[in-house]
């Protein structure tokens, strides 16, 4: 007989079995089945995210190479007016360098670093990357639309024939209308909400400064005295740090009850976070701090009187 023959059997690991219908079922305890189903769902979602990222990188790379090739090998039409301030080749180069190249490069880095890592980390990074892409694309589109509307109709800024660079430039602007609308909406919303946000931040800053000043005044007014076992008889240890008091300990009683006393350093750190008694949760205010010295002197005199009578 082995040593583990009489040991209680542990929980069986979940196992996957094929059902008569051809489906797969997970067997085990209910908690194991739920945990395994959550793990399978996350793994499936991560796999789909990786596949979508690969597909997005593929078509973004194709578009990037196509636009780069057109800019490098093609020129605008011979009838294009060089005096015109709107050069489709120049603005397409700005779009490639400032938007497409950073987006493709950062997406590739995210894919290489997080494809085998946490699903949420990869999703958050892609969210911020897509936000940057839509914002920059929208700003670029708005700027170019504004430049186009400023041109006179008879400026001759378009060649008579069909030119691939001009066509690409127009297609880029058309696809950028939706990001431009989103960007304009959020910029308008931000401008409208900016006064309220600044007001809330100012009030929070003012309240925090008021709280810090009140806490400093409260800590400066605390009553501090040496630990005396004849006076402080309720507890022998600080209820915050759980260390015993000694003759050299500096203690601070609170106004809620003279029997609620703690190490001075402990209660100072406590009051910086929460201005209430750790035991009874009564608020510690600056107006009641002055009563502590009177309460302590009264108790000390009472103890001395009892000792003198004995």
Cβ proximity of 159 and 78 under 8 Å: yes
In the prediction, which pLDDT does 104 show? Answer: 92
Query: How far apart, in whole angstroms, are the C-alpha atoms of residue 98 and residue 87?
Result: 17
In the prediction, which pLDDT does 80 show? Answer: 46
In the prediction, which pLDDT does 173 show? Answer: 87
Cβ proximity of 256 and 282 under 8 Å: yes
DSSP string, 8-47: PP-PPPPEEEE-TTS-EEEES-HHHHHHHHHHHHHHHHHH
In the prediction, which pLDDT does 200 show? Answer: 92
In the prediction, which pLDDT does 198 show? Answer: 92
In the prediction, which pLDDT does 2 show? Answer: 45
In the prediction, which pLDDT does 42 show? Answer: 62
Query: Mean pLDDT for each 10-residue chunk of the chain (310 residues)?
Result: 46 49 49 51 78 90 88 61 64 89 92 82 90 90 84 54 72 88 88 91 89 84 83 84 86 85 89 87 81 72 62
In the prediction, which pLDDT does 10 show? Answer: 47
Cβ proximity of 80 and 159 under 8 Å: yes
In the prediction, which pLDDT does 84 show? Answer: 55
Neighbours of 104 (CB within 10 A): 18
Cβ proximity of 161 and 85 under 8 Å: no
In the prediction, which pLDDT does 102 show? Answer: 92
In the prediction, which pLDDT does 162 show? Answer: 47
Q: Which domains does the chain have, with CATH numbers?
A: 24-175 (no CATH), 221-309 (3.30.40.10)
DSSP string, 100-167: IHHHHHHHHHHHHHHTTS-HHHHHHHHHHHHHHHHHHHHHHHHHHHHHHHHS-TTS--S-SS--HHHH
Query: How far apart, in whole angstroms, are the C-alpha atoms of residue 263 and residue 257?
Result: 15
Give the list of residues 6+ apart from residue 258 with CB closer than 8 angstroms, or none. Answer: 292, 295, 296, 299
């Amino acid at each position: 007989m082995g040593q583990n023959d009489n040991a209680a059997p542990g929980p069986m690991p979940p196992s996957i079995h094929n059902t008569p219908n051809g489906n797969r079922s997970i067997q085990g305890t209910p908690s194991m089945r739920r945990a395994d189903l959550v793990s399978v769902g996350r793994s499936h979602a991560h796999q789909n995210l990786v596949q979508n990222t690969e597909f997005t990188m593929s078509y973004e790379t194709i578009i990037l190479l196509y636009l780069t090739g057109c800019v490098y090998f093609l020129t605008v039409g011979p009838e294009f007016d060089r005096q015109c301030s709107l050069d489709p080749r120049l603005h397409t180069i700005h779009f490639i360098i400032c938007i497409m190249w950073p987006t493709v490069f950062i997406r590739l880095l995210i894919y290489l670093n997080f494809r085998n890592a946490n699903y949420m980390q990869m999703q958050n990074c892609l969210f911020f990357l897509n936000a940057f892409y839509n914002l920059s694309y929208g700003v670029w589109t708005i700027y170019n639309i504004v430049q186009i509307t400023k041109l006179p109709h008879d400026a001759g800024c378009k060649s008579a024939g069909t030119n691939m660079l001009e066509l690409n430039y127009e297609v880029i602007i058309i696809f950028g209308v939706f990001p431009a609308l989103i960007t304009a909406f959020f910029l308008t919303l931000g401008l409208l909400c900016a006064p309220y946000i600044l007001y809330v931040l100012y009030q929070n800053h003012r309240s925090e400064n008021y709280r810090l000043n009140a806490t400093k005044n409260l800590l400066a007014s605390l009553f501090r005295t040496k630990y005396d076992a004849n006076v402080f008889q309720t507890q022998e240890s600080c209820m915050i740090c759980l260390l015993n008091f000694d003759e050299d300990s500096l203690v601070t009683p609170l106004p809620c009850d003279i029997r609620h006393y703690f190490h001075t350093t402990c209660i100072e750190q406590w009051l910086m976070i929460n201005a209430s008694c750790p035991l009874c949760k009564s608020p510690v205010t600056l107006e009641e701090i002055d009563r502590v010295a009177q309460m302590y002197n009264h108790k000390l005199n009472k103890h001395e009187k009892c000792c003198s009578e004995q």
